[in-house]
Amino acid sequence: MKNARLSKLWDTLHSSYWFIPSVMAVLATILAFTMLMLDRTGKSIDYWWIYTGGASGARSLLEAVAGSMVSVTATAFSITIVALQLAASNFGPRLLRNFMQDTGNQFVLGTFIGTFIYCLFVLRTIRGEGDGYERFVPQLSITMGILLAIISVGVLIYFIDHASTIIQASHIIENVSDDLHKAIDRLFPQRIGHGVSDNQKQGEEVPKDFDQESRPIRANSTGYLQVIDNDELMKLAKEHNLLLRIESRPGKYITNGSSLVMVFPSEKVNKKLAKQINSAFILGRERTEQQDIGFPINQLVEIALRAISPGINDPFTAIRCIDRLAAGLSHLVQRDFPSPYRYDKNNKLRVIIAEPILFEELAYNAFNQIRQYGKSDTAVTIRLLEAIIIISTYTDNPKYQQVLRHHADMILHSCSGELSQQDCKDVQKCYDAVIQSLEDGSMIKNRYA
């Protein structure tokens, strides 16, 4: 992944509530000093939209704007905190990160804070006739303050509408689904790497004594593996003529001292190399979707499980999640999964992935828990089978079809004894449609290629 650390830094800043407001506060400060410099040129401006009042009126105006911005900012923060609490209780704490990444809320808070800071800087420069200083009423600066106040009113209206929208289940599910599709495009591009010749079997260059002669590089910290800098690992492998086997993958929890990479040959390992390899693995307190495609899938599953829990009993939200999972897996089966063997430009094996991402695992994460907890709900059970029908129309890969057939069998088996006789007939009818779709899947392959 190119610029993995920059990508991680941007993700961290994007997930914080201080970055954009801080940038906007700095811009407001620059704007205040720029406008004051224009006012100090001494040129008289006489337009109907320019403020032409006295010093006392200017002070009262800016004091009112600054005071109202403090109140509105406090209200906006309160509404935001309430939205976060609702999200954590209704959709799960893992969804909080999606709310924290909401640029709209950050922009709103930045606008209010920036307007407040602007008014403070301009207010301190206003001088009247009796103040003991030369009279100075910055007309342009005060006019800009009025304009910012009007903009803030518009932003407040937007915030009220936005705050009521982002806590809706449909909006949250759509955002997570978008993250899933973006992760698929990012991690499963249509063309991957440099490839090898057609008559070369991938992985045949692995030394037979790799396990005996390799040496582990161990983690020096604890946390969830968020990003692996694959470009840096490939660079190190080429520079030192190494073969690396990555022992974990993004999304896994890493403990201090656990093995990150096995290095072959072992005699080339030293403290400097171990430090460089460790720096290519970025750990954090929580999972992210940067290189972990299972994370957005688990988020959709968590929303669905909470929806069909006895305390909530909302199968319609669960069905929406299943629809999004079906769309994501339909997108996924059209992509080639990257090989666990990574070659350099000279077609020499350099990196091996010990735990590659498999469709079987992703399908298991998507269907298994919803099947277990929704087996007594006819609508959820039938929707799971319909999702398999949708996915099957996008692939004729025998391995994928076998996985989908397995989950259809498990769904049918789970609901037996849980549903009424008529409901079981409806589920059986949908199951038969799944089997028929899997048999006819190859006919539709070229349509979606």
Q: Are residues 161 and 16 in the same domain?
A: yes
Alpha-carbon distance of 366 to 350, in angstroms, equals: 33
Residue 373 reports pLDDT greater than 80 = yes
Per-residue pLDDT for 204 more than 70? no
Q: Which segment, 7-11, 43-47, 113-117, 437-441, is predicted with the most confidence on average? A: 113-117
Per the domain annotation, does 392 fall within a domain? yes
Q: What is the pLDDT of residues 89-99, one digit of tens each?
A: 777 777 777 77
76-134: per-residue pLDDT in tens? Answer: 888 888 877 877 777 777 777 777 778 888 899 999 999 999 999 999 888 876 655 67
Residue 342 lies in a domain: no
Q: Which residue has the tokens 């430090």?
A: 275
Q: Is residue 254 in some structural domain?
A: no
Question: Is 387 within a domain?
Answer: yes
pTM of the model: 0.82
Tens of pLDDT along 11-38? Answer: 777 777 888 999 999 999 999 999 999 8
Backbone CA torsion sign across 337, 338, 341, 343? positive
| Residues 162 and 305 reside in one and the same domain | no
Q: Assess whether pLDDT exceeds 50 at residue 196.
A: no
Q: Examine the fold and report which residue of 167, 190, 208 is the final residue of a domain before the chain moves on.
A: 167
**pLDDT of amino acid 95:** 75
Provide mean pLDDT across the span 167-182: 89
The total number of structural domains that make up the chain: 2
pLDDT: which is higher, 406 or 192: 406
Residue-level pLDDT at 331: 93
Averaged pLDDT for residues 180-209: 65
Q: Is residue 250 part of a domain?
A: no
Residues 25, 160, single domain; the answer is yes
The Cα 32–Cα 37 span in angstroms is: 9
- The overall longest dimension of the chain from CA atoms, in Å, is 93
Structure tokens at 402: 């076998």
Is residue 187 a part of any domain in this protein? no
Cβ atoms 302, 92 nearer than 8 A = yes
Residues sharing a CB contact under 8 Å with residue 109, sequence separation 6 or more, in sequence order: 17, 20, 21, 73, 76, 77, 80
Convert 285-324 to b/e letters by CB count within 10 Å (16 or more is b).
eebbbbbbbbbbbbbbbbbbbbbbeeeeebbebbbbbbbb
pLDDT band at 177 (very low <50, low <70, confident <90, very high): very high
Mean pLDDT (the chain, rounded)? 85
**Residue at a domain's end among 142, 167, 192:** 167
Q: What is the pLDDT of residue 64?
A: 93
Q: Say whether pLDDT at 443 is over 60.
A: no
Which pLDDT score is estimated for 89?
Answer: 77
Alpha-carbon torsion (263, 266, 268, 270), positive or negative? positive
- Judge whether residue 3 has pLDDT over 50: yes
Task: Judge whether 264 and 240 are in contact, CB under 8 Å.
Answer: no
CB-CB contact of 414 with 375 (8 Å): yes
For 240-295, what is each residue's pLDDT tens digit? 888 999 998 898 999 998 999 999 888 888 889 999 999 889 898 888 888 889 99
For residues 295-312, average pLDDT: 91
Task: Give yes or no for a contact between 293 and 180, defined as CB atoms under 8 angstroms apart.
Answer: yes
Q: What is the pLDDT of residue 45?
A: 64
Residue 417 has pLDDT above 60, yes or no: yes
Rounded to an integer, what distance in angstroms lies between the CA atom of residue 118 and that of residue 32? 6
Q: Are residues 162 and 296 in the same domain?
A: no
Q: Which of 146, 167, 188 corresponds to the end of one domain? A: 167
Reported as a pLDDT band with limits 50, 70 and 90, residue 187 is confident
Asked if residue 39 belongs to a domain, the reply is yes
Question: Which domain, by its residues, includes 142?
Answer: 4-167
Confidence of residue 153 (pLDDT cuts 50, 70, 90): very high
C-alpha pair distances (Å), 218 with each of 254, 258, 265, 274 = 10, 5, 16, 8
Q: Is residue 188 part of a domain?
A: no
Strand partners, 246: 261, 353
